[in-house]
Homo-oligomer: A and B are copies of this chain.
């Protein structure tokens, strides 16, 4: 069987706010082959990823992603990395292609799961999927009081771990950040896991991160996430040598497995965070999970969007029992909440379980797609290259 059709659906909230909330839009991928259908999701910038799917060829190493996917054989899981390698090779000079490939790769795994009647984690070689401990992933409040209130709310809702990130953290003075951290710890109480996400705010300035370390230690933050941009390996390594017992987390910006492996080898991370919607899909994410596991670094998903994306991001490390935490979006916009009829809710022990049904086991709701669908048309060289497809 061959890949007959791939359709991209750009969904968006009616209004996009200028906040660090990635659940405000989404790019869905529907892939069809041999009478089966798979779904995937690409992280961020839907219009740009659509353009990289259908742009005219620039030269032999800068082809539209569609050239490497449509018509390809998709019979077994070995075809998925083969197609991924075709995309990377033929779109070598097309930077956005890695993000576009991500949703396609996820959809291929979903489709083959449905075809074989098995969940994706089994196709990845895991005998079972272990439950994960979700950390409530939230933005810092605008001030310490707002963060305190949020922390109390997530504690009351039963989360054993909570992460605060972005918002004003790291952008103002030290005292404000200290207040934020203490408010977070106070709201959570003494026993819950506190995680802190700086959202790359210090770029590569190690001293700025060092100034926050005493407060991070006092508040017993388990990790400091993304103090720096992903490429600043040396800055990560220098901070890691001084941050104990606070561990560093990072990797969401990795758009291929080499970037993630270089971080694992050189950045001194305690946790590697991979977004299957960016790194090229489930295939490279699974390679990174295995690589991290062999090196004693904990793999964690990066997910701030829909439960389709969440379900895809959990597959690569579903069978790794020691890698227990999972990022869990707790304040998504209605688009993020409504996209899938089924959702992955914490059980009575507060644990998240992957569906055992074929493929990802979770699919977008056509009504939700229609509700948030953005009308797009791209014309070039006298042709309509893309027009929003029918659901």
**A residues adjacent to B (C-beta < 8 A):** 10, 12, 16-22, 24-25, 43-48, 50-52, 55-62, 85, 88-89, 92-96, 98-99, 166, 199-200, 203-204, 229-234, 253, 255-256, 258-259, 262, 265-266, 278, 374-382, 385
Contact = CB atoms under 8 A, between A and B. Distances in A.
A234 to B, nearest CB: 7
Contacts of A58: 16, 22, 24-25, 44-46
A43 B94 CA distance: 9
B262 A233 contact: yes
Contact of A16 (B24, B59, B230): B59
B234 A265 contact: yes
Nearest to A10: B380
Counting chain B CB atoms within 10 Å of each CB, which of A43, A166, A200, A378 scores highest? A378
22 contacts: A17-B60, A20-B61, A22-B62, A22-B93, A25-B56, A43-B93, A44-B59, A44-B62, A45-B52, A46-B58, A47-B55, A48-B48, A48-B51, A48-B94, A51-B51, A56-B374, A85-B203, A96-B96, A230-B258, A266-B266, A375-B381, A378-B379
A225 to B, nearest CB: 14
Q: How many copies does the complex hold?
A: 2
B59 A24 contact: yes
A56 to B, nearest CB: 7
A199 to B, nearest CB: 7
A374 B48 CA distance: 18
Nearest to A57: B16
A231 B55 CA distance: 25
Contacts of A204: 258
Contact of A258 (B52, B88, B229): B229
Given A234-B265, A379-B376, A20 B60 contact: yes
- For A20, A48, A95, A234, the residue with the greatest tally of chain B CB atoms inside 10 Å of its CB is A48
Kindly name the residue among A10, A21, A24, A51 whose own CB sees the greatest number of chain B CB atoms within 10 A.
Answer: A51
Given A16-B59, A24-B59, A47-B55, A231 B259 contact: yes
Given A48-B48, A258-B231, A381 B374 contact: yes
Contacts of A94: 44-45, 48
A376 B234 CA distance: 42
B56 A22 contact: no
A140 B287 CA distance: 35
Given A43-B93, A96-B52, A262-B262, A379 B380 contact: no
